[in-house]
Amino acid sequence: MDIASFVTSLVTSFVIFVVLVLVFTWLSSRPGNAPVYYPSVLLRGMDPWEGRGRGTRSPVGWLRQALSASEGDVVAAGGVDAAVYLVFLSSVLSILVFSGVVLLPVLLPVAGTDHALETAALNSDKAPQNFTQLERLALGNVRVKSLRLWAFLLAVYWVSFVTYFVLWKSYKHVSNLRAAARSTPDVKPEEFAVLVRDVPMPPPDQTIKDSVDSYFRALHPDTFYRSMVVTDHKKADKIYQEIEGHKQKIARAEVVYAESKTASKPEGTKPMHRIGFLGLIGKKVDTIEYCNDQIKELVPKLEAEQKTTLRDKQKQAAIVFFNRRSAAASASQTLHAQMFDRWIVEQAPEPRQIIWPNLCKKVYERQIRQVVVYGIVFLTVVFYMVPITAISALTTLEKLREKLPFLKVVVDQPEIKTVLQAYLPQLALIVFLALLPSLLMFLSKSEGIPSQSHTVRAAAGKYFYFIVFNVFLGVTITSTLFKSLTTIIDNPTGIVNMLANSLPGSATFFLTFVALKFFVGYGLELSRLVPLIIFHLKRKYLCKTEDDVRAAWAPGDLGYNTRVPNDMLIVTIVLCYSVIAPLIIPFGVAYFALGWIIAKNQVLRVYVPSYESYGRMWPHMHTRIIAALLIYQTTMVGVILLKQFLYSPILVPLIPISFIFAYITHMRFYPAFAKTPLEVVQHDVKETPNMDAIYTAYIPACLRPEKLEDVDIFEDAQSHTTSRAPSI
Amino acid sequence: MDIASFVTSLVTSFVIFVVLVLVFTWLSSRPGNAPVYYPSVLLRGMDPWEGRGRGTRSPVGWLRQALSASEGDVVAAGGVDAAVYLVFLSSVLSILVFSGVVLLPVLLPVAGTDHALETAALNSDKAPQNFTQLERLALGNVRVKSLRLWAFLLAVYWVSFVTYFVLWKSYKHVSNLRAAARSTPDVKPEEFAVLVRDVPMPPPDQTIKDSVDSYFRALHPDTFYRSMVVTDHKKADKIYQEIEGHKQKIARAEVVYAESKTASKPEGTKPMHRIGFLGLIGKKVDTIEYCNDQIKELVPKLEAEQKTTLRDKQKQAAIVFFNRRSAAASASQTLHAQMFDRWIVEQAPEPRQIIWPNLCKKVYERQIRQVVVYGIVFLTVVFYMVPITAISALTTLEKLREKLPFLKVVVDQPEIKTVLQAYLPQLALIVFLALLPSLLMFLSKSEGIPSQSHTVRAAAGKYFYFIVFNVFLGVTITSTLFKSLTTIIDNPTGIVNMLANSLPGSATFFLTFVALKFFVGYGLELSRLVPLIIFHLKRKYLCKTEDDVRAAWAPGDLGYNTRVPNDMLIVTIVLCYSVIAPLIIPFGVAYFALGWIIAKNQVLRVYVPSYESYGRMWPHMHTRIIAALLIYQTTMVGVILLKQFLYSPILVPLIPISFIFAYITHMRFYPAFAKTPLEVVQHDVKETPNMDAIYTAYIPACLRPEKLEDVDIFEDAQSHTTSRAPSI
């Protein structure tokens, strides 16, 4: 791609960005859009405008606000996970800044003042204008064997050690963040509970519930509170949903009915609907009456189903409650059974993020599922290459013209041509990447993971490897990769050389890619045009009741499973090019600076976390960054070797160093993320917690009794003998 | 080696064995030798002869006894570890028996009736007698591509599955054995204690002891009893030993003095000795007086040293005591500190097997030491090849004659020649192997492992890899191995072919090796000639007091660190040849049958365990056996491939199967060995245990106060503030 189209792409994306920001500042200042731009603020029951005078109206109001917000505010608004995500962005940012301040002033002149390209051009007597200013400022412009390579070699060391330093600091910070958040005195149900899986089949005369009770009461006589056996409540849930649906219908109908009572026609028209397929066929009925009848019918059915579920559909898993946090914590870490495949105990997930059907999967089944899933993922990662190569082959404009001659008319107009030339490949890539996450989420779920947050982490991990392998390696080595795959097997060094060969070439591609991603991507992110439009449409045509409206602007959460890997891709790209083409660093800085400030704004105002894992995402981010660093280091060894630079082996020690660093950090910090340190939960909550409330928090909606007092009845329904501990 | 020398070696070793057994039955029946043949019985305060009439005098008395003894008796006499060792022997035995009953009747005829060797011999027109009957009954005699190879191929499957089956059964059995032994109500100090390492440095105003107390009292308010900080008591110990030495001298002197009081000379002669170097120079002194004075001097010094040690030489490690077994168990498995490298908690080792200097090593130091040690071991394993190749080159008799011509006279006598030819290589090997264990023990100790038993396991592991790599591979591929090492690096399959090529050749070598080991080895083991002679000499010339005598016959323990790997070597050899030369199976059976019965006898009568690890050795044995199985399976793939048998790839699936088996067993059984399941300790001891006694058990001898009541004083000596929990 030539310099012209590169600049075009930059300029255009920047323009788009500015426009979007302006749109945002304008729209967000209009009260009608508050639900779109301040949902989380509203949900926390605050007035988005209060105490911010006209400052908010000013285009930089949101900016000032986001900057001024402390980490405490972030935690309060979006939970520890959001805070950790911001830490991730900021630490990558600081890695890049620290690298940039040294690399840019040093490497750019060193490269720019050399003449490898000219000489090459002259030798191959091409016109010198077919390499750009950019390429002149990159490693490619340094002569082979030139002593200038020392600068690049040392630069790699600098970047690596900056990374180590920042990562260590951040890990420590996050670890304290997590500890602080967990040792707060307020009651969190999951801290009083443990999840028990692989409960052995009890003797026929007692229910699973009974055996769980007796087992845990024997092992934890003083601290055991009570237990809840996981049941298969699909059927009950179905009925429950039906009832809810009818209730909703009634609510809507009543609103409609009320509106229909005009002055002219005071009695109004009762809303009707057909009971047949999609309300299109079948006999017409009065909605309100009909639904009420339905409910009357369903309620007893539900109650009956609840009873049978509790009694007869008990699964071999349970949630056990303790009356002290520390007790639960140490119970969740202690081996209970002599045989490993019985009574497996682990920390209980938050009630809201439990994946019920996964709880009762047996240990061996889980293992097998995991193996299968990994197999599938591996295949996906490898064979997604096929379409991607096709795309990147297709999207060179000339090819496109041949393939689709009718495009000529459009394409041959120069300005369109440049724009297309600038964007087509990147667009293709981005579109293509949008397809995957849901598949990966599904796969991770079917591994048998008990909690939502864990699934997200698993999916993010898979997505990262996919994205790095396919986008980064894929684009860099496009078609040659298949050959390389075979070469990898018999000599792993082959891949390095290949990378080294093809990296410098596609530098500009990634420059534009990054620019596009942050300008347009973040622009859209900030301005929330899509949600805005949807919201207004819904409210205009669909929403009848308040609940409908609320549903219409429900913001959802950040969706780490795609967000993090995408950022990680940028990290990988920027790191790998940081020394080859230092010009990419400013772009990376811009990406993460913007990303950080916008994410912070969104966390404070928009997104509502759907779960809280106290930053368990961090260890994954940490290892991924190190993975990126390793890719970077290996490539650099190759790149500088190709310059026939004798001293390039000096880079090799970096690779073991990275592994050691990874190992030490893991050993030092990870246990506090995987388990709950006693230190953290030692301060037991001040007032004795309301254990009944904690218990009820775990009862699935469709089984939940109306009144809190009924909890005991609920529990007794599970066991033959009423075996309950005296609640403290 | 030709058939003659093979038979000679068998016969001679058998004769030796019979002689030794007879010697044993004769000697062991003479009361004077009781301390040599029944030490453990005596130490348990029983009369070795009681209730066994003259049956013991009969040559098979000990045999009958050993057979009749139940596993319970073994546990009572030698602890769980001994019982587990016997399980190991018996399960290997049953693996070999099960394999033998199928392989021998099937494979021998299949091989014997083929004629590959003759044809080979005829083609190379050699006289057919330079291959032996043995070789005729081995795989080597089967023609290439012959369908008979199916039999051998299936045999491999049979052996493998027999192994899986037996191993699974045994692991289950051992795991229950361990559980049973641990859930006995009797008080074991280590079950009430946990070992705490990497205690952070306290603020200057408090001792480590104080910080440990406050930390654990905060985290375990109800169950914390008290703590003992590890101190550097080298100096105190030195003084203590001196005092003990003097006491001993006095005791001896008094005996001598008493004896000197003859009728002729009633006042006797006071024993004197010189205080100079080795009692050879310096002025003569009256031993008794002198030593008493010395003690008088030393005692106050010791007391002073004790105080300073307790107060000022506290190390950053401690042993913390709980007043309930389950509390200690779950504490030892719970993560305490937010930062991993502080307050590392693990199960406390038995008092008698603590390695004090290792306790206070910091976590990072331990890691580094481990890496270093592994490096050293790796080098040892690889480069011990040099001497071994030299030996096996030297020990072919002809070479010996050239090298040492003066031997001709001896060597040229035919009968000597055959014997030498039969033994020299094996002897060389055995002698050579006797050198290593102590080195490995030292290395394992310096890894920073806190307990004796763990050190033994670590050493055994190292020794196993050494022995398999050097003896087995070493002898099989003697000199070619160095070349092979390089081939391994670029294609790992090379080693397999090499093994396959050279295995059949050295079959007979190993036949004799096994025979020699079990006949002579076990003969010596049983007859205990060496200890007997030493004992009698000592008693005659050195021993003065009762203690001296007791010291003279102190039996020591089984020494698993060399025993187990040696057995494992035989397992590996026999497995690998089981199909190539099925004749080795009977030898293997004999080895383990004899081994089992003799070991049982020795456990019941002789050895006294110096520690109890409740069979933690088993998982190691288990994995080693699987390792042997893997070597076997890989080799067989190669061997049958070399027969140009198309179907040999059918064997490949066995290798992953073995890995899966190893993984599953590990996952299922291992946790109960690494940790203490709550199930096991839930039955708390009946009467409240004497916690003071438990506490004192951990006080090193040189610091131990005279009376139990002084424990509190001892403890207070460690802390500035008297901070003690009310003892229950």
Distance CA B213, CA A45 (A): 47
When computed from its CA atoms, the radius of gyration of chain A, rounded to whole angstroms, is 30
Report the C-alpha gap between A525 and A558 in whole angstroms.
11
Closest-CA residue of chain A to B183: A338
Quick one: pLDDT at residue B129?
Answer: 47
Q: Which of B30, B167, B156 is nearest to B99 (CA)?
A: B156
For residue B600, how far is the Cα from the chain centroid? Answer: 15
Best interface-test mutation with B: which of A335, A346, A659, A682 has the largest number of B CBs within 10 A?
Answer: A335
pLDDT band, very low/low/confident/very high, at A642 (cuts 50, 70, 90): confident
On whether ipTM exceeds 0.90, the answer is no
Q: What is the pLDDT of residues A235-251, one digit of tens each?
A: 888 888 888 888 888 88
Mutate to test the interface with A, among B678, B681, B682, B684 (most CBs of A within 10 A): B678
Q: Which residues pair with A227 in a beta bridge?
A: A320
Q: How far is B503 from chain A (nearest CA, A)?
A: 29
Closest-CA residue of chain B to A367 = B664
The structure tokens listed for A179 are 């500890």
B chain contacts of residue A682, beta-carbon cutoff 8 Å: 218-219
Q: Which of A357-366, B310-319, B499-508 shows the lowest mean pLDDT across its residues?
A: B499-508
Instruction: Retrieve residue B163's tokens.
Output: 């192994």
DSSP code for B29: T
Sequence letter at residue A442: F
> Distance (Å) from the C-alpha of residue B82 to the closest C-alpha of chain A?
21
pLDDT of amino acid B613: 86
For testing contact with chain A, the best of B196, B334, B346, B669 (most A CBs within 10 A): B334
Is the CB of residue B182 less than 8 Å from the CB of residue B681?
A: yes
B334 interaction partners in chain A (CB closer than 8 Å): 329-330, 333-334, 675, 678
Average pLDDT of the segment spanning B322-346: 84
Does A335 sit within 8 Å of B334, measured CB to CB?
A: no
Edge-to-edge strands, sheet with B224-231: B224-231, B314-322, B193-197, B344-347
Greatest alpha-carbon pair distance for chain A in Å reads 95
- Count of all residues that appear for chain A in the document: 728
Nearest CA-CA partner of A484 in A564, A390, A382, A578: A382
Mark yes or no for CB contact B334/A218 under 8 Å: no
DSSP string, A208-251: HHHHHHHHHHHHSTTTEEEEEEEE--HHHHHHHHHHHHHHHHHH
**CA A577 from centre of chain:** 25
**A715, A724 contact by CB (below 8 A):** yes
Contact B508, B132 (CB under 8 A): yes
pLDDT in tens, A126-183: 444 455 666 677 777 777 778 888 888 889 999 999 999 999 999 999 998 988 888 8
Q: For residue B216, which residues of chain A lie inside 8 Å, CB to CB?
A: none
Considering A520-529, A612-621, B28-37, B682-691, the range whose residues carry the highest mean pLDDT is A612-621
Query: CA-to-CA distance for B92 and A303, rounded, in angstroms?
Result: 60
Lowest mean pLDDT among A26-35, A191-200, A445-454, B160-169: A26-35
Nearest to A723 by CA among A187, A328, A202, A234: A202
B175 and A678 within 8 Å at the Cβ level: the answer is no
Q: Residue A342 has which token pair? A: 């019985």
CB–CB contact B336 A218 (8 Å): no
| Distance in angstroms (rounded) separating the CA atoms of residues A403 and B553 | 96
Q: Which residues of A touch B (CB under 8 A)?
A: 175-176, 179, 218-219, 222, 326, 329-331, 333-341, 667-672, 675-680, 682
Question: How large a percentage of chain B has pLDDT more than 90?
Answer: 8
Name the token pair of B717: 């000596």
pLDDT-derived band at A90 (thresholds 50, 70, 90) equals: very high
A338 and B679: CB-CB below 8 Å? yes
Neighbouring residues of A27: CB distance < 8 A, sequence distance ≥ 6: A33, A36, A37, A527, A532
A439 vs A281, higher pLDDT: A439
Chain B contact residues (CB < 8 Å to A): 175-176, 179, 218-219, 222, 326, 329-331, 333-341, 667-672, 675-680, 682
Cβ atoms of A702 and B359 closer than 8 Å: no
Q: Are B138 and B111 spatial neighbours (Cβ–Cβ below 8 Å)? A: yes
Angle between helix B452-467 and B560-578 (nearest 10):
30
Averaged pLDDT, A581-590: 86
Contacts of the segment A91-94: beta carbons below 8 A, 24+ positions apart = A91/A166, A91/A167, A91/A169, A91/A170, A92/A567, A92/A571, A92/A592, A92/A625, A93/A589, A93/A592, A93/A593, A93/A596, A94/A166
Who contacts A696 (Cβ-Cβ below 8 Å, separation ≥6)?
A704, A708, A711
Contact B270, B285 (CB under 8 A): no
C-alpha pair distances (Å), A493 with each of A601, A635, A638, B173: 45, 10, 9, 49
Structure confidence by residue, pLDDT tens digits, B426-438:
666 666 667 778 8
Distances (CA, A) of B373 to A88, A663, A701, B442: 38, 19, 58, 10
- In sequence order, the 6+-apart residues with CB closer than 8 A to the CB of B155 are B102, B103, B106, B107, B578, B579
The C-alpha angle with vertex A407 and arms to A402 and A410, in degrees rounded to 5, equals 130
Dist CA A241 CA A247 (whole Å) = 10
* Residue A179 with chain B: CB contacts under 8 Å: 338
- Number of other CB atoms surrounding residue A645 within 10 Å: 22
Contacts of B667 in chain A (CB under 8 A): 340-341
Cβ-based contacts of B339 with chain A (< 8 Å): 175, 668-669, 672
Give the Cα separation of A226 and A217 in Å (integer).
9
Given a contact cutoff of 8 angstroms between Cβ atoms, the answer to whether B490 and B407 are in contact is no
Indicate yes or no: CB of B667 within 8 angstroms of CB of A340: yes
Contacts of B219 in chain A (CB under 8 A): 326, 678-679, 682
Beta strands in A113-209 (DSSP E): 193-197
Q: Does the structure show a pLDDT above 60 at B52?
A: no
- Within 8 A of B175 by CB-CB distance, chain A residues are 338-339
What is the 3-class SS of A617-682, one letter each residue? HHHHHHHHHHHHHHHHHHHHHHHHHHCCCCCHHHHCCHHHHHHHHHHHHHHHHCHHHHCCCHHHHC
B175 to A218: CB separation less than 8 angstroms, yes or no: no
How far, in Å, CA of A528 to CA of A522, rounded?
Answer: 10
Can you tell me the distance from the alpha carbon of B599 to that of B83, in angstroms, rounded to the nearest whole number? Answer: 10
Confidence of residue B162 (pLDDT cuts 50, 70, 90): very high
Size of interface A-B (CB pairs under 8 A): 92
- Inter-chain residue contact A680 with B326, CB threshold 8 Å: no
Distance of residue B69 Cα from the nearest chain A Cα, in angstroms: 28
| DSSP codes of every residue in B399-435 | HHHHH-GGGHHHHTSHHHHHHHHHHHHHHHHHHHHTT
In this complex, which of B175, B335, B677 lies closest to A336 when CB atoms are compared? B677
Across the strands, what pairs with B158?
none
Query: Model confidence at B487, in pLDDT bands (50, 70, 90)?
Result: very low
- Which chain A residue has the Cα nearest residue B675? A335
Most confident of A281-285, B148-152, B292-296: B148-152
A332, pLDDT greater than 80: yes
Transcribe A316-350 into DSSP letters: EEEEEEESSHHHHHHHHHS---SSTTSSEEEEPPP
- pLDDT for res B727: 41
Residue in B330, B680, B682 nearest the CB of A330: B330
Mean pLDDT estimate for chain A: 78
- Min Cα distance B373 → chain A (Å) is 17
Task: Name the pLDDT band for B128 (thresholds 50, 70, 90).
Answer: very low
Sign of CA dihedral B358, B361, B367, B371: negative
The residue among A177, A338, A366, A664 with the most chain B CBs within 10 A of its CB, best to mutate, is A338
Mutating which of B679, B680, B683 best tests the A interface, going by the most A Cβ atoms within 10 A?
B679
Mutate to test the interface with B, among A678, A680, A683, A684 (most CBs of B within 10 A): A678
Nearest to B618 by CA among B560, B667, B681, B677: B560
Percent of chain B with pLDDT over 70: 78
Between CA A603 and CA A87 the distance in angstroms is 13
Of B335, B336, B679, the CB nearest to A337: B679
Contact A633, A654 (CB under 8 A): yes
Q: What does pLDDT average to over chain B?
A: 78
Give the model confidence (pLDDT) of A544-573 as tens digits: 777 777 777 777 777 788 788 888 888 888
Give me the pLDDT at residue B28, please. Answer: 78
Helix (H/G/I), strand (E/B), else coil: B318? strand
- Note whether A326 contacts B219, CB cutoff 8 Å: yes
Q: Would you call B285 helix, strand, or coil by DSSP?
A: strand
Amino acid at B445: K
Question: pLDDT of A571-582, one tens digit each?
Answer: 888 888 888 888
For residue B672, the chain A residue with the least C-alpha distance is: A338
In chain B, which residues have their Cβ closer than 8 Å to the Cβ of A334?
329-330, 333-334, 675, 678
CB A227 within 8 A of CB A216: yes
Distance from CA of A655 to the nearest CA of B (A): 18
Q: What is the DSSP letter of B346?
A: E
Which H or E run includes A439? helix A437-445
Res. A707 pLDDT band, cuts 50 70 90: low
Q: Is the pTM of this model over 0.90?
A: no
Q: Are B232 and B718 in contact (CB under 8 A)?
A: no
A 10 A CB-CB count for A702 gives: 20
C-beta atoms of A339 and B218 within 8 A: no
Backbone conformation region of residue B448, classed left if phi is above 0, alpha if psi is from -120 to 50, else beta = left
- Indicate yes or no: CB of A677 within 8 angstroms of CB of B337: yes
Q: What is the pLDDT of residue B113?
A: 80
Instruction: Name the range with the highest mean pLDDT among A35-49, A595-609, B401-415.
Output: A595-609
Cβ of A678 and B329 within 8 Å? Answer: no
Share above pLDDT 70 across residues of chain A, in percent, rounded to a whole number: 78
